[in-house]
Amino acid sequence: MNLAVLGAQWGDEGKGKIVDLLTPRFSIVARYQGGHNAGHTVYVNGTKFILRLIPSGILHPHVTCVIGNGVVVDPQALFAEVDELARNGVEVDGRIAISDKAHLILPYHRDLDLLLEARRGDRKIGTTSRGIGPAYEDKIARRGIRVGDLADPVGLEATVRDNVTARNRLIQDSTMDWRPVVEQLLTDGERLRPWIRDVSVMLHQAMREGRPILFEGAQGTLLDIDHGTYPYVTSSSATIGGVCTGLGVSPRAIGAVVGVAKAYTTRVGEGPLPTELFGEQGQRLRESGQEYGSVTGRPRRCGWYDAVAVRYGVRINGLDVLALTKLDVLDGLEQIEICTAYRCGSRTLTDFPSDVGQLAACEPVYESMPGWSAPTRGIRRFEALPEAARRYIARLEEVSGVRAAIVSTGSERDDTIIRDDIMKLQDGRIAGLQD
Ligand code: GDP
């Protein structure tokens, strides 16, 4: 059975660890959207790996990793990642495939990202300034350059020349020369060539051979370009639909969907966050959860678990189960709040509002739960959790409308509870969800 694993909140939910944990059951791990703004952190035997573009499945030698057409690729960032992996003894050659339809991030996209964000002033989005938004803009405007275009130097030259000329007009005093850009691309193309594939064909072939695929999402549901808190979103489809458009597979190919959610909430960048905690309480979560961006180092905004947001994620993505992460971060809190609804003026909302202005005006409706003093960190059996922690999880499940099949209690691969009664990992496969 193929499985999609995606973020059920505002990203940074710990998808990297969950994907890494489930990967032994799969032959292929496929990324379907985003760029190197994503940053999955995985610890294996004490070594820290930060993976931005290459699926974290690369840490398992039997796995082939796929970068789909829905991803935007910065060749320099990709090569840097490949080299870093090689330095740590992980060889990618023969184990990586990049869609010929994936769009490229070029040097002028990075410049534009910085410029446009600076011009937004108070209305900035909080982008990571890596050129990802402008690369997706070019894709939609039908002037983008795709990985497959690197095989056609004449066409490539014409498109780059047009794009650089347009950019020079847009940025005052800019005199970027298109020639070095083309030269660099042609060099990059040489290195990329052995990895370039028709990913849709490759995935269908794998499915015919009965080789299971894990579809790996980046960012999270509430950062999705359509279903997120627009305009404070990423430029791609982080929700389940992105699997189909970003890889060229049918919805029927997706066997089950795992949503990764923290036992609380975080968000990076701008935009409303109804359960945000300020002052000491927010700082407490930030410090004990080490809530600083793995790519940018930016402090994340922290708040209580928002069941309205997760319910929305359940609806949009058809989540079968949750993987609940970072339970241990709540250790030692006397009282924990769960947001079950929003109060918006005189109305109580139980559905996540479409309008970001309305969301910003919402106050969370909280339900208090007692905390626990005994540490949950590193606990690997559900029964070994303090009773208050088990109650907290049970209540989260009730108000979120989905069971938590996996509970993560630390950053190491093995600091994890897999609840056999909900989902079984056995004989190299996953059972209990839909098969
Ligand atoms: P991702 O982009 O969704 O993979 O999330 P990040 O990698 O940005 O953030 C997750 C961070 O939390 C990483 O540093 C993980 O090692 C860490 N992490 C994941 N699960 C747990 C957990 O259960 N407890 C703790 N304390 N840390 C965790």
> Which pLDDT value is given to residue 173?
73
Please tell me the distance from the alpha carbon of residue 66 to that of residue 98, in angstroms, as a whole number: 6
If you measure from the C-alpha of residue 248 to the centroid of ligand 1, how many angstroms do you get, rounded to a whole number? 29
Enclosing H/E stretch for 392: helix 387-400
Cα dihedral angle (226, 228, 229, 230), rounded to 10 degrees? -20
From 192, 223, 244, the end of a domain falls on: 192
From 158, 174, 192, the end of a domain falls on: 192
Nearest Cα residue to 8 out of 405, 281, 415, 333: 405
Whether 388 is covered by a domain: the verdict is yes
> Which pLDDT value is given to residue 426?
62
Please give the number of the atom of ligand 1 that sits closest to the Cα of 409. 23
Confidence band, pLDDT 50/70/90 cuts, at residue 428: low
> Which pLDDT value is given to residue 174?
76
Whether 18 is covered by a domain: the verdict is no
In the block, tokens 């497959």 appear at 148
Phi-psi region of 209 (alpha: psi -120 to 50; beta: other; left: phi over 0): alpha
Helix, strand or coil, per DSSP, at residue 410? coil
Q: Is 376 in the pocket of ligand 1 (CB under 6 A)?
A: no
pLDDT in tens, 129-148: 789 999 999 999 999 999 99
The CATH number given to whatever domain includes residue 419 is 3.90.170.10
Question: Do residue 287 and residue 153 come from a single domain?
Answer: no
**Residue 312: domain span:** 261-428
The CATH number given to whatever domain includes residue 112 is 1.10.300.10
Question: Do residue 315 and residue 168 come from a single domain?
Answer: no
Whether 302 is covered by a domain: the verdict is yes
Whether 46 is covered by a domain: the verdict is no
Q: Is 34 in the pocket of ligand 1 (CB under 6 A)?
A: no
Nearest Cα residue to 40 out of 411, 425, 409, 378: 411
Whether 410 is covered by a domain: the verdict is yes
If you measure from the C-alpha of residue 285 to the centroid of ligand 1, how many angstroms do you get, rounded to a whole number? 13
The per-residue b/e assignment along 215-254, b for 16 or more CB within 10 angstroms, e otherwise, is: bbbbbbbbbbbebbbeebbbbbbbbbbbbbebbbbeeebb
From 192, 210, 231, the end of a domain falls on: 192
Question: Do residue 170 and residue 289 come from a single domain?
Answer: no
Confidence band, pLDDT 50/70/90 cuts, at residue 391: very high
If you measure from the C-alpha of residue 206 to the centroid of ligand 1, how many angstroms do you get, rounded to a whole number? 30
For ligand 1, pick from 288, 326, 413, 418 the residue to mutate: most ligand atoms within 8 Å of CB.
326
Please tell me the distance from the alpha carbon of residue 130 to that of residue 211, in angstroms, as a whole number: 34
Question: Do residue 292 and residue 378 come from a single domain?
Answer: yes
Q: For residue 25, what is the DSSP state? A: G
pLDDT: which is higher, 176 or 199 = 199
pLDDT in tens, 258-303: 999 999 999 998 999 999 999 999 999 999 999 998 667 889 999 9
Bridge partner residues of 157 (DSSP): none
Q: Catalytic residue positions?
A: 12, 40
Count how many domains the chain has: 2
- Which residue has the CA at smallest separation from atom 13 of ligand 1? 41
